[in-house]
Structure 1
């Protein structure tokens, strides 16, 4: 028995010493389409916002019977209409739907090996190649048709009611509902040249097509969720430097900061900042960039500018899926969304803080109560990775977080300045309204007159 245990132990040691990192766990700028990380799937209050409610795209939720009953007939209709348009608009097919269908199905089949590489193994392992080809062919064509014809003013064009149109629009950006951009390029009438237009038209719910505006151009790397993330956040990533083993060179470990340079955060919410004279204003930029924040310190107060935030029923889904995407183990990114939400969580404790930001024009709350907005930030803020990068340890792994840390330090330095706080409180107490200013000037004038009268009485020639 002892000899058997020794052999077993040596076998396990040999297996351990031969372990290497799997390719699908290496950090990359082109992550595979995968499930929400297990860390978040274990949190039911988070994961429920990552599951499609009406329609599925791709292999992860394809077998969900409820989604098949609700969405499969829609995808089949849209695929047929997409092929019909393709046959008419691509001169080679001269309106022949069957020939166009054979070509589009064939182009997916011809590229199935490359397309499979864009998915995590565990999400496609239960499908045969033939099943996967048909799924990607139908899902890709139907998604292209939806994005081209979505119109909030005319949902009937997609054979939908308005509520169905909105629910499907909410399902499309979910992390587990993504299709590779490569697939959409293969099935597009222009081999992908119109994808930025189609996605922008989807984002605007048809406004892009109705207005005839020139579409913006944003590099589309991975899928629709990645495009939306690039649209709302600054996502330039420093060039990856390969290491000697051909992988990506990891950043250095966190560096302790000298204790003398630490600035501890003592304010708790936006109301604390207001007491110290800090006002919040909405950013006037036309760009929807949520990282565009600034802070300016002045003698009698400070000014914090924040981007506009429209809070709706979609917000719960969109931001949780962005968080899950940024935390995928093979995705190299700077945690732009996580850092922004962490920053906002430092400003919002309860509904009163939301009311302050709403009054400042920073938050537009389309929900019923400000408590819901506050709860969103409080619930989501607990486990954000950005909270690991604090005032003691900084890291070059997430350069975008440095901007938030810098602004937070500027706010703290202003907030902890005693004389600025005194000036702000004095201004708030005595000069908060024209009437208080007039009262102060009247009192000052009365004091001056009294002093002059006293002086005149003492120094009068008659005396």
Structure 2
């Protein structure tokens, strides 16, 4: 018995790490947090085997059948042909899931499930505007839930399934449909695609997809992560890691040190930069929408990053952790709103502050990504004359009334000086 145990040490089984992770369940240490479990569970439809058949998703099963029928246009021969594509490739498709994600389903059940779910998802991608759900014969509130469910880590379909079922001419066109769906729902107003010229309500948005040599996405959540990281080039400055203690806490303290928040025009939502000038500093952040989708979206992106078979740099986790370091109080949210960096769709600034404080719990960020940025801010923060100048500016020049009061006080002092001068040295 002991010899058998030692044999395990002689030939250990390595943990798989690749850029093509399998579809799997959220890590137990994340899902076990009671307040977060709801953000990993679908509310309307299941996609794939992990949540298939759950009682609260039965209405979604009916809708998926209807959307799949729309996709094949009620053509039995078309449906049989596409179903056959899944059956022929079922062995390879099963390899794209972890064993525990596949559950108890046999090959026939799994093939039918992937066929129906894939056709339904492709039909949804054709009509991404949830404000006009008429083509999908659904209601706005239902499509809002579907939109969130489609980007849960445990609710992903392999991109290969969409390829096999797609009636589009090539993968580039399919990815364009996926990106249109993502941009219509999960990015700021300026980043969203505009309607085509002469398009009717409910038609697809117009979007330009840059041609590149990147591999096809693993699934929709993987493509969303690629869009978030678009053109992001972090400065991995190892010397800045642990070079000194960070003394600033939030945006309020940075403002007191003369650091102003500005809106960046970067295409990557996580591309943050800092510039220090003579008497002031500028922290530039791309704008972000904070609404009911942000918690499930970012929590699932971060859960995706901690998958053991996904080799990445934890960029999303690092970004959320950096935002949390800036936002402690509602006043910090107010500063971001005033700079038009943050669009608050939740209600109060207090809710936004609490949201970031909650979703950043138990994060393991990559300290190297924003190390040089933090170091530059700290160097600016430590220069006291810049803090004094900022204090003077905020006291006397922050609004028109302060400026008027300062000018009036200066004029009064000048007149007092002139009066005193002529009293001491009367004119002859």
How far apart, CA to CA, are the structure 1 residues paired with 2:161 and 2:194?
25
TM-score normalised to the size of structure 1? Answer: 0.80
Provide the residue aligned with 2:199 in structure 1: none
- The answer to whether structure 1 residue 49 and structure 2 residue 39 are counterparts is yes
Q: Residue 103 of structure 1: which of 59, 65, 81 is its match? A: 81
CA contact (8 A) 2:240 2:372 kept: no
Report whether the alignment pairs 1:341 with 2:331.
no
Q: 1:192 to 1:356 in 2, by over 3 A?
A: same
Is 1:439 matched with 2:411?
no
Q: Which runs of 5+ in 1 are unaligned?
A: 1-7, 86-96, 239-250, 395-400
CA distance in 2, matches of 1:440, 1:262: 45
Asked if the contact 2:180/2:205 (under 8 Å) is kept, the reply is no
Q: Aligned with 2:223: secondary structure?
A: helix
Query: Partner residue of 1:233?
Result: 229
Out of 137, 154, 164, which is 2:142 matched to? 164
Partners of 2:41 and 2:262 lie apart in 1 by 35
Matches within 5 A, 1:119-198: 119-190=97-168, 191-198=170-177
Match of 2:285 among 274, 284, 306: 306
Helix, strand or coil at the partner of 2:284: strand
Q: Quick one: structure 1 residues 198 and 445, their matched pair in 2 at CA, closer, same or farther if it must change by over 3 Å?
A: same
* Separation in 1, partners of 2:231, 2:274: 22
CA distance in 2, matches of 1:211, 1:202: 9
Tell me the secondary structure at the aligned position of residue 194 of structure 1.
helix
Aligned-partner Cα distance in 1 for 2:240–2:345: 45
**Is contact 2:333–2:353 with CA below 8 Å preserved after alignment?**
yes
Q: What's the secondary structure of 2:247's corresponding residue?
A: coil
Deviation at 1:102, TM superposition (A): 1.8
Shift of 1:201: 3.3
1:300 Cα deviation (Å)?
2.4
Deviations 1:88-144 (A, max 9, x none): xxxxxxxxx222122101111111121111111211152211111111111111100
Counterpart selection for 1:417 from 368, 383, 391? 383
Which residue of 2 is the match for residue 275 of structure 1?
256
Distance in 2, Cα, partners of 1:406 & 1:136:
46
- Give yes or no for contact 1:350–1:374 (8 Å, CA) kept in 2: yes
Distance 1:217 1:106, change over 3 A: farther
| Secondary structure of 2:407 counterpart | helix
Q: 1:383 to 1:171 in 2, by over 3 A?
A: same
* 1:241 aligned partner: none
> Which of 1, 5, 8 does residue 15 from structure 1 map onto?
8
Larger gyration radius, structure 1 or structure 2: 1
| Residues 452 and 29 (structure 1), Cα distance of their counterparts in 2 relative to 1, 3 Å cut | farther
Pairing partner for 1:82 from 71, 96, 99: 71
Three-state SS of the structure 1 residue aligned to 2:274 is strand
Alignment of 1:346-357 (within 5 A): 346-357=325-336
Following superposition, the deviation at residue 212 of structure 1 comes to: 5.5
Cα distance in 2 for residues equivalent to 1:295 and 1:437: 31
- Using the alignment, how far apart are the partners of 1:306 and 1:170 within structure 2? 25
Change (3 A) 1:214 1:343: closer
How far has the Cα of 1:443 moved from its partner?
5.2
Residue 262 of structure 1 is matched in structure 2 by 243
In the TM superposition, residue 334 of structure 1 has moved relative to its aligned partner by: 1.6
Q: Distance in 2 between matches of 1:36 and 1:62?
A: 16
Give the total of aligned pairs.
406
Question: Please, what TM-score do these two structures have when normalized by structure 2?
Answer: 0.87
Inter-CA distance 212–420: structure 2 relative to 1 (3 Å threshold): closer
Q: Give the superposition deviation at 1:175.
A: 0.7
1:19-30 map, 5 Å: 19-21=12-14, 25-30=15-20
Match of 2:200 in 1: none
The superposition leaves residues 280-337 of structure 1 with CA deviations (integer Å, 9 ceiling, x where unpaired) of 122245x3x2222221212322111111111111111101001101111111112111
Within 2, Cα distance between the matches of 1:36 and 1:236? 26
C-alpha distance 42-271 of structure 1, shift in aligned 2 (>3 A): same
How much does 1:50 deviate? 0.8
For residue 190 of structure 2, what is the aligned residue in structure 1?
A: none
Per-residue deviation at 1:57?
Answer: 0.3
Distance of aligned partners of 1:408 and 1:237 in 2 relative to their CA distance in 1, 3 Å threshold: closer
8 A Cα contact 1:348 1:354, kept in partner: yes
Aligned partners of 1:138, 1:29: CA distance in 2, in Å?
Answer: 27
Q: CA deviation at 1:258?
A: 9.4
Counterpart check, 1:33 vs 2:23: yes
**How large is the RMSD of aligned CA atoms in angstroms?**
2.8
Gaps of 5+ in 2: 186-192, 197-202
